[in-house]
Amino acid sequence: MQIFQTLRCPVRVILTFGLLFAALSAAHAQTSTLDTIRARGVLNCGIGEAQAGFSQTSAADVRTGMDVDFCKALALAVFGTADAVKFWPLGPNDRFKALSAGDVDVLARGGAWTLTRDTEFGARFAGVLFYDGQGFLTRRGNAVASVLELSGASICALPGAMGEQGVAEFFGAQRMRYQIVAQESWDDLVQAYAAGSCTVLTGDVSLLAVTRSKLKTPADHIILPELITKEPLGPAVRQGDPQWFGVVRWTLMALIEAEELGLTSENVDAQRAATQPSVRRFLGLEANLGQALGLPRDWAYLIVKNVGNYGEIFDRNLGAKSDLKLARGLNNLWTKGGLMYAVPFR
């Protein structure tokens, strides 16, 4: 009896906290991110600062880029229209703070996916939107087709992990000689390369593509095919809301799956008459795959119809139909030598 009386108070405390936690959890469930967004009537989407190919604004105040298109795809999934989105341009020091504070619902391209950002920053990455990494730009006249042919080259590089350090680690591992031409700013580095002070310029491939497009004769310069570091960039959301995480993840998957199925913004209407089960499932004709996500039956169709598939987005912003002319590389489908792979829609 004495033992029971001694334990009874702690048991009551535990039960009280358990009931309180359950009540808080129920309240949180009633105010999920998806519910909040719908009540607000607009998606708050964090995008990168002005960068060609990812987020830029024209003279006519039209915003374009891969970040922008992903935000539109997400708005289409939630609202059925690409117009229900507010863009928040954010710098590297602000993006995760804005996400944590609830200023934005998602970061379209939340920087490189790393362990620290996926844990200590309170973010969850839904997948990879763009595989970036440290690469090399050189003059076509140098007749170099691979990084492995750069032994003895002079390399224009910034200090730090994505410059000198990356070069030192890769070239050291390959036992290749090199000479660093260092500058503290990217603009100064580009000027050094343009002046012929080095054989190659190194940096993130996305940045090299932008830089090449601004050189006097872009076609005279090539980006070598290899990457020597990994920088997977993708959408990130706050931790603690699996439903919203699922919406963001499967929006990304829908873009990739559409390309795998051969569905484009131009043919998707005609494909609604297709008999292929995987196509009919994806378009919501024979299965309601949106129900578990809290989305309408035709959410994937609306994305493809209005934004296109992943390949279309890449081509118009970064690839052959853009000023950057960046090769798909790792961002190609897995069936074409790349890493883009959609989890099955079933």
Looking at the DSSP bridge assignments, the partners of residue 59 are none
pLDDT at position 331 is 98
Do the Cβ atoms of 101 and 90 come closer than 8 Å?
A: no
With a cut of 80, say whether residue 140 has pLDDT above it.
yes
Q: What is the largest CA-CA distance in the chain?
A: 92
CA distances from 169 to 224, 249, 273 (A): 18, 34, 54
Q: Which residue has the tokens 């829908």?
A: 254
List, for residues 202-251, the tens digit of each pLDDT value: 999 999 999 999 999 999 999 999 999 999 999 999 999 999 999 999 99
| Calpha distance 252→331 (Å, rounded) | 13
Calpha distance 80→76 (Å, rounded): 4
Interatomic CA distance for residues 79 and 84, integer angstroms: 7
Relative to beta strand 43-48, strand 106-107 is parallel
Residue 5 has a pLDDT of 46
- Within the chain, residue ranges assigned H as helices are 2-30, 33-40, 66-79, 95-101, 115-119, 166-173, 186-194, 205-214, 242-261, 277-282, 299-306, 310-317
- pLDDT bucket at 176, cuts 50 / 70 / 90: very high
74 or 160, which is more confident? 74
Helix (H, G, I), strand (E, B) or coil at 180: strand
CB 282 within 8 A of CB 305: no
Q: Strands 123-125 and 56-57, how do they pair?
A: unpaired
272-296 tens-digit pLDDT: 999 999 999 999 999 899 999 999 9
Alpha-helical (H) ranges within 262-335 are 277-282, 299-306, 310-317
Instruction: Check: CB of residue 207 under 8 Å from CB of residue 186.
Output: yes
Cβ–Cβ < 8 Å for 74, 251: yes
Amino acid occupying residue 278: S
Instruction: Determine whether 245 is exposed, middle or buried from the number of CB atoms within 10 Å of its CB (0-12, 13-18, 19+).
Output: buried
User: What is the radius of gyration, based on Cα positions, of the chain?
Assistant: 24
Extract long-range pairs of 188-194: CB within 8 Å, 24+ residues apart. Answer: 189/156, 189/157, 189/158, 190/156, 192/156, 193/137, 193/156
Buried b (16+ CB within 10 A) or exposed e, 253-270: bbbbbbbbbebbbeebee
What is the per-residue pLDDT across 45-85, written as a single tens digit (0 to 9) for each? Answer: 999 988 999 999 988 889 999 999 999 999 999 999 999 99
Three-state DSSP class for residue 64:
strand
Q: How many CB atoms lie within 10 A of CB 82?
A: 18
